[in-house]
């Protein structure tokens, strides 16, 4: 069976569970390891991802069982937990939420020759460093390129500045695209800890930029945005999908913060998104976030790969690579030869606590301003008449 032939069953995970059960060589449930930061500062990413994974697992039961392990946001612990999941018999795992965790997990993955699906680690080299590594999120290169192109070409922001703290791949992509567009930075700062952020922010503002790129790891992103606002910066802050965490989106300092992420709208009427969003609301009582969609799709990728070829790691790898054109909740479940998802980010913002496509938001505001301007002209004409 080719992967594309599974498309018709994608919105019906119970049917996929039955297919998975009959496709594997054993009637025993397939154990899947789940290694996520469920405590510590990175839990704001791990918790919503786990919700999506558990929703998919409930729909795939009894074909798949989960062994959930807490990495606590510690790379060494993430590596140990991954080894424990593999030693317990899991042919595959979901994990590596942060780049630091994913990098620590790769040696274990390569030694055991298993499969790891990352929901959120975007550093470019990860997929190239292991034949068993796949990710369901866009790469840092794609996010950084999109941000820089949008800032220079659509918003025409000038001058520009940047602040980097541990997200070098993102910063490299931003710098390359800014240079390609003929723009330049009037100031660039780096920080090694959150204590460095206020001073770096003050130095950036001395150059009077209109837009500042933040290439900052997720757990420090809130502090970086706060440092810029505390320093008096009122312009655009442009950053990665790390800002998509519910804790940050629902915070108080979201105005004019733009971030690149894959397309996801819980109100979308496409069958995979519609069924996922409905099931998520019924289970959790609220709309799903992008991170939950990533977790849901990560387990679906494994389930489809298992149903396609089998539970042995080599078979599973071939099954995942056969998912050509398969639609997912967070975009197509299709991977290049290195294991990167075929997803292209757009620029988003927060409006009234909701994540919105910023270009749609911008065009809507421009239309409202034009209509208001025309209304004022008509009122002025009537008064003059």
Q: What is the pLDDT of residues 316-354, one digit of tens each?
A: 988 898 888 788 999 988 899 899 998 999 999 998 888
Closest CA to 218 of 113, 143, 154: 143
Res. 107: pLDDT tops 50: yes
- What percentage of the chain reaches a pLDDT higher than 90? 69
pTM of the model: 0.88
Q: What's phi and psi for 97, nearest 5 deg? A: -70, -45
Largest CA distance in the chain: 85
Residue carrying the six token digits 């009637």: 27
17 band by pLDDT with thresholds 50, 70 and 90: low
Q: Which residue did the predictor score with more confidence, 155 or 385?
A: 155
| DSSP state letters, 165-185 | EB-HHHHHHHHHHHHHTT--E
Res. 168: pLDDT tops 70: yes
Average pLDDT over residues 93-110: 96
pLDDT, tens digit, for every residue of 229-282?
Answer: 999 999 999 999 999 888 898 888 899 999 999 999 999 998 899 999 999 999
Q: Please compute Rg for the chain using Cα positions.
A: 22
Cα 241 to Cα 33: distance, rounded to the nearest angstrom = 25
CB 122 within 8 A of CB 139: yes
CB 290 within 8 A of CB 23: no
Helix and strand counts by DSSP (H, E) for the chain: 14, 12
Helix (H, G, I), strand (E, B) or coil at 95: strand
Res. 24: pLDDT tops 70: no
């Amino acid at each position: 069976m080719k992967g594309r032939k599974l498309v018709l069953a994608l919105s019906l995970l119970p049917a996929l569970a039955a297919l998975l059960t009959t496709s594997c060589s054993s009637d025993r449930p397939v154990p899947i390891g789940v290694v996520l930061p469920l405590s510590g500062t990175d839990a704001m990413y791990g918790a919503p991802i786990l919700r999506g994974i558990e929703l998919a697992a409930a729909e795939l039961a009894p074909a798949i069982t989960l062994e959930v392990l807490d990495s606590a946001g510690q790379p060494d612990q993430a590596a140990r937990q991954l080894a424990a999941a593999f030693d317990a018999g899991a042919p595959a795992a979901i994990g590596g939420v942060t780049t630091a965790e994913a990098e620590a997990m790769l040696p274990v993955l390569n030694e055991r020759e298993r499969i790891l699906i990352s929901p959120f680690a975007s550093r470019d080299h990860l997929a190239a460093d292991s034949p068993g590594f796949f990710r369901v999120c866009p790469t840092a290169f794609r996010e950084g390129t999109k941000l820089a192109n949008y800032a220079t070409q659509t918003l025409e922001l000038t001058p520009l500045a940047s602040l980097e703290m541990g997200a070098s791949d993102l910063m490299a992509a931003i710098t390359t695209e800014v240079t390609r567009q003929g723009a330049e930075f009037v100031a660039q700062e780096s920080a090694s800890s959150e204590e460095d952020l206020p001073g770096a922010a003050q130095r950036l503002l001395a150059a009077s930029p209109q837009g500042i790129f933040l290439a900052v790891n997720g757990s420090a992103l809130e502090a970086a945005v706060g440092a810029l606002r505390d320093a008096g910066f009122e312009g655009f802050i442009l950053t990665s999908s790390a800002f998509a965490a519910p804790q940050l989106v629902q915070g108080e300092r979201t105005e004019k913060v733009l971030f690149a992420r894959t397309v996801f709208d819980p109100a979308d009427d496409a069958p995979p998104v519609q069924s996922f969003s409905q099931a998520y609301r019924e289970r959790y009582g609220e709309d799903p976030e992008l991170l939950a969609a990533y977790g849901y799709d990560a387990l679906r990728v494994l389930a489809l790969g298992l149903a396609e070829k089998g539970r042995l790691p080599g078979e599973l790898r071939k099954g995942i690579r056969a998912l050509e054109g398969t639609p997912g909740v967070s975009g197509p479940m299709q991977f290049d030869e290195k294991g990167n998802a075929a997803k292209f980010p757009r620029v988003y913002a927060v409006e009234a606590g909701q994540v919105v496509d910023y270009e749609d938001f911008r065009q809507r505001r421009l239309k409202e301003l034009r209509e208001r301007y025309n209304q004022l002209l008509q009122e002025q004409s009537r008064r003059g008449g």
